[in-house]
């Protein structure tokens, strides 16, 4: 009987202790959850501060880049850098050096200074101009763009021209897809097309003029020069935005301004003009084409609308289109 009473008392005590232990554990758990919530709130605050810091640092870096005379961030700034080259060298460079004196103490800073000097002394280095009277293949680079393999021409219309389209033997088929016209095709020393994306990058980085030379099968030479050649990006279908002031034998390209580029697999108008004229070009929507330099290469003179022609409507022997930065 005593044993039963003792066991009952022990059971009661055990139950009471167990209940109290559960309450204590629950209280501790609640405390820990509150502490965890506080820590989470503090972590979110810290992360917000880090994000704000990164944002401010990026804004500062962007502002420094915009005020960096060595890195023209737009076509207008690049043109101004060219026309005001003497001022840039004598005024902007000393200010730039004094402002960034501490940075130039590091190897990276010294490399930037060297690039700055090159940029200011040759603002048209993203072209064939620095190669003076050279004619042949070169590789040029632009900020943020992979190197571009080009052919320079200093024999046709003076020095410093960069060929964007060349047809002399009919070795390349110019009835190509959108992707091929975008990326470029052909061989630099023969028939070739530089690529719309490259042309867009170049003409939007600095102001370029355009020179077109056309030779007929009879040996007659037609030429055209335009003062401000500019095209849009791929989302704009590489629209021909501007050609500028004309000089030459006959102007046939000004009427193509505001026309979008077309290929047979990506027509920019409902009349399927790329298929009709057998090429890729800034075709005029009304179908009255005065030029078709990327049309089919014919080995004899004929008045076929789909043939490669310029101004006369008669198929030509050769066509060359070149661009060069406008200086001064």
Cβ pair 315, 291 in contact under 8 A: no
140-190, pLDDT tens digit by residue?
A: 887 667 889 999 999 999 999 999 999 999 999 999 999 999 999 999 999
| Same domain assignment for residues 227 and 109 | no
Whether 75 is covered by a domain: the verdict is yes
257-295, pLDDT tens digit by residue?
A: 999 999 999 998 888 999 999 999 999 987 678 899 999
| Same domain assignment for residues 114 and 227 | no
User: Rounded to two decimals, what is the model's pTM?
Assistant: 0.67
| Same domain assignment for residues 89 and 198 | no
Output the CA torsion sign for 290, 293, 294, 300: positive
| Same domain assignment for residues 191 and 145 | yes
In the chain, which residue ranges form alpha helices assigned H by DSSP? 2-66, 75-83, 85-87, 93-99, 107-121, 178-183, 196-205, 273-277
Q: How far does CA 315 lie from the centroid of its chain?
A: 34
> What is the tally of structural domains in the chain?
2
Query: What is the residue range of 113's domain?
Result: 70-121
């Amino acid at each position: 009987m005593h044993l039963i009473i003792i066991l009952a008392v022990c059971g009661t005590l055990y139950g009471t202790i167990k209940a109290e232990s559960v309450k204590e554990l629950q209280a501790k758990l609640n405390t820990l959850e509150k502490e965890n919530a506080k820590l989470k709130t503090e972590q979110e605050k810290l992360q917000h501060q880090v994000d704000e810091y990164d944002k401010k640092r990026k804004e500062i870096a962007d502002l420094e880049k915009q005020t960096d005379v060595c890195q023209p961030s737009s076509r207008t700034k690049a043109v101004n850098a060219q026309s005001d080259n003497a001022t840039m060298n004598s005024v902007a460079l000393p200010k730039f050096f004094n402002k960034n004196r501490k940075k130039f103490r590091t190897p990276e800073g010294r490399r930037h200074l060297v690039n700055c000097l090159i940029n200011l002394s040759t603002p048209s280095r993203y072209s064939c101009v620095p190669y003076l009277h050279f004619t042949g293949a070169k590789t040029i680079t632009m900020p943020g763009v992979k190197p571009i393999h080009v052919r320079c021409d200093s024999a046709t219309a003076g020095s410093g021209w960069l060929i964007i389209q060349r047809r002399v033997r009919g070795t390349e088929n110019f009835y190509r897809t959108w992707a091929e016209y975008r990326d470029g095709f052909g061989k630099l020393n023969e028939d070739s097309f530089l690529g719309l994306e490259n042309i867009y990058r170049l003409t939007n980085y600095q102001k370029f003029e355009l020179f077109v030379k056309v030779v007929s099968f009879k040996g007659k030479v037609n030429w055209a020069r335009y003062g401000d050649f500019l095209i849009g990006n791929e989302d704009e279908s590489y629209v021909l935005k501007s050609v500028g002031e004309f000089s030459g034998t006959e102007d046939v390209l000004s009427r193509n301004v505001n026309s979008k580029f077309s290929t047979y697999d990506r027509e920019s108008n409902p009349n399927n003009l790329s298929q009709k004229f057998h090429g890729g070009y800034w075709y005029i929507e009304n179908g009255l084409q005065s030029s078709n330099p990327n049309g089919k290469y014919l080995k004899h003179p004929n008045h076929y609308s789909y043939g490669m022609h310029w101004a006369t409507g008669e198929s030509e022997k050769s066509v060359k289109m070149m661009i060069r930065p406008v200086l001064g």
